[in-house]
């Protein structure tokens, strides 16, 4: 359309029948409309805030919050300000979203593969899992698991898990690691092992390119990463102690507790997002044409080589964009924590702080800004990853 217009008349006529002129008029009208709407909203808001005596500005972030939350990953001296509560909430959101993404990917991968299995029972289990939990709202699942966890027996009848952890209606009590002197050595060994594995992979790849000889990289890397830190741990005199939870009266001494709110939220998010990820992996692997499998079989590749060298690289191209949007969904869904009182960003800052200060505009703007930033960061990372796995064409 535009090409024809440019060729026929380069000069713009000030008439409604000129496409260029019409375009400019329409854009000016749109911008004018949006500006007028924004002015209407802003002036109304200013008037309303004045009427209600609500102060504006971001001064409230340094005032004391005056409320407490159950899960603080960073320590702030009393009195905790609203700004510090923001950080507490943000960290809690990031923890549940990060763990959720990792666990949902693992669950989705396992279920996706099970659903393609020739074994009727495992395919059936995966099918039932995907089609049941995918069609139930995630908020309902969060509330359901929270209800289940709260209905567990009390502290005195705690359910012991292998003698290590204790499960009751106040949460999951697990041993707490206590770092002694010399634990840095173990961490150093761990880092060394990872570096050595990367170097090994590079060397093995180069050797295979040149000579065609394969090297069991994954097996030797796992061995390296497990053996080296464990060996250092025992040689340096076991510099890590575990503080086990011991029941005392109506509570526990020692150890640390994972709250029912956190467990319920994480469980529901992982189970719900896992159904979508399972379908993504299944459709991605099935989207690789049969000819590719037959060709790989004809080349004499072993099934696991076929998976690693032929199927997964091609399936990843299909899967990565869809995975990105699921990771984003999981992060956004973690905001449903507010329904069960897990102190995430929306519950602490967007909830209690908003109610205490009444500064809805500022609080909601900051909260939305945080989610937009997280979404943007995940998108940027996944786009970079997608560019790595995308088809390299000349």
Partner 1 sequence: MSFTDELIPPSPPPASARVNLLTLIRTRLFGSIGSTIVSVLILYLLIRYVPPLLNWLIFSADWIGTSREDCTSGGACWAVITARFRLFIVGFYPAEQVWRVWIAFTLLPVALGYCLVEKLPYRRYGLTFAGFYPLITAILLAGGLGLPEVATSKWGGLLLTLVCGLTGIVVSLPLGVILALGRRSNLPAISSLCVIFIEFIRGVPLITILFMSSVMLPLFLPPGTTMDQMLRALVGISLFASAYMAEVIRSGLQSIPKGQYEAADALGLGYWQSMRLIILPQALKIVIPGIVSTFISLFKDTSLVLIIGLYDLLGIANATITDTKWIGLSNEVYVFTALVYWVFCFSMSRYSLYLEDKLHKGHKKK
**157 counts as binding partner 1 under rule CB under 8 A:** no
What is the Cα–Cα distance from 183 to 179, expressed in whole angstroms?
6
Complex with partner 1: residue 125 or 196, whichever CB lies closer: 125
From the list 307, 309, 382, 389, which residue makes contact with partner 1 (rule: CB under 8 A)?
307
Q: Closest Cα to residue 284, out of 104, 116, 127?
A: 116
- Establish whether the linkage from the previous residue to 79 is cis, with ω within 30° of 0: yes
Q: Spell out, one character per residue from 77 to 116, where the chain touches partner 1: x when CB under 8 A holds, - when not.
A: ------------------------------------xx-x
Q: Which two tokens stand for residue 136?
A: 């139930």
Note the residue count of the chain. Answer: 394
CA distances, 268 to each of 38, 91, 140, 238 (Å): 39, 19, 9, 37
Q: Closest Cα to residue 265, out of 148, 151, 143?
A: 143
What is the Cα–Cα distance from 12 to 20, expressed in whole angstroms?
7
Q: Closest Cα to residue 74, out of 55, 60, 52, 90?
A: 90
Helix (H) or strand (E) holding 168: strand 165-168
**231 counts as binding partner 1 under rule CB under 8 A:** no
Complex with partner 1: residue 200 or 307, whichever CB lies closer: 307
Number of residues that bind partner 1 (CB under 8 A): 69
**293 counts as binding partner 1 under rule CB under 8 A:** yes
**119 counts as binding partner 1 under rule CB under 8 A:** yes
**7 counts as binding partner 1 under rule CB under 8 A:** no
Complex with partner 1: residue 247 or 356, whichever CB lies closer: 356
Owner of token pair 């692997």 = 285
Cα 203 vs. chain centroid, distance in angstroms?
33
Complex with partner 1: residue 335 or 383, whichever CB lies closer: 335
Q: Which residues bind partner 1 (CB under 8 A)?
A: 1-2, 4, 23, 26-28, 30-31, 34, 41, 44-45, 47-49, 51, 113-114, 116-122, 125, 131-132, 134-141, 143-144, 147-148, 151, 290, 293-294, 297, 303-304, 306-307, 311, 332-333, 335-336, 338-339, 346, 350, 354, 360-361, 364, 367-368, 371-372, 375-376
């Amino acid at each position: 359309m535009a090409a024809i217009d440019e060729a026929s008349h380069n000069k713009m006529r000030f008439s409604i029948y000129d496409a260029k002129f019409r375009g400019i008029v329409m854009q000016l009208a749109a911008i004018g409309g949006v500006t007028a709407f924004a002015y209407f909203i802003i002036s109304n808001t200013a008037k309303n805030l004045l009427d209600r005596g609500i102060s504006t500005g971001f001064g409230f972030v340094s005032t004391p919050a005056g409320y407490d939350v159950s899960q603080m990953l960073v320590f702030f001296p009393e009195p905790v300000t609203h700004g510090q509560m923001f950080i507490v909430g943000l960290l809690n959101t990031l923890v549940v979203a990060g763990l959720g993404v990792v666990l949902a990917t693992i669950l989705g991968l396992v279920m996706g593969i099970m659903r393609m299995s020739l074994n009727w029972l495992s395919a059936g289990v995966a099918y039932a899992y995907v089609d049941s939990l995918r069609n139930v709202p995630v908020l309902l699942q969060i509330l359901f698991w929270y209800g289940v966890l709260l209905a567990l027996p009390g502290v005195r009848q705690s359910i012991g898990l292998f003698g290590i952890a204790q499960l009751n209606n106040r949460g999951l009590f697990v041993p707490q690691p206590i770092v002694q002197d010399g634990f840095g050595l173990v961490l150093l060994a761990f880092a060394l092992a990872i570096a050595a594995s990367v170097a090994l992979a590079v060397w093995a790849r180069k050797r295979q390119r040149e000579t065609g000889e394969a090297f069991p990289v994954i097996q030797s890397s796992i061995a390296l990463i497990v053996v080296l830190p464990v060996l250092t741990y025992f040689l340096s005199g076991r510099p890590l102690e575990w503080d086990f939870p011991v029941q005392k009266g109506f509570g526990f001494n020692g150890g640390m507790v994972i709250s029912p709110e956190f467990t319920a939220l994480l469980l529901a998010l992982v189970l719900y997002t896992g159904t979508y990820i399972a379908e993504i992996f299944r459709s991605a692997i099935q989207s690789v044409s049969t000819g590719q499998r037959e060709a790989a079989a004809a080349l004499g590749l072993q099934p696991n080589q076929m998976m690693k060298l032929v199927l997964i690289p091609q399936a990843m191209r299909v899967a990565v964009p869809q995975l990105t949007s699921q990771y984003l969904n999981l992060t956004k869904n973690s905001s449903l924590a507010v329904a069960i009182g897990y102190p995430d960003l929306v519950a602490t800052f967007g909830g209690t702080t908003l109610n205490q200060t009444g500064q809805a505009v500022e609080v909601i703007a900051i909260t939305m800004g945080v989610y937009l930033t997280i979404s943007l960061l995940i998108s940027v990372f996944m786009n970079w990853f997608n560019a790595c796995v995308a088809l390299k064409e000349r």
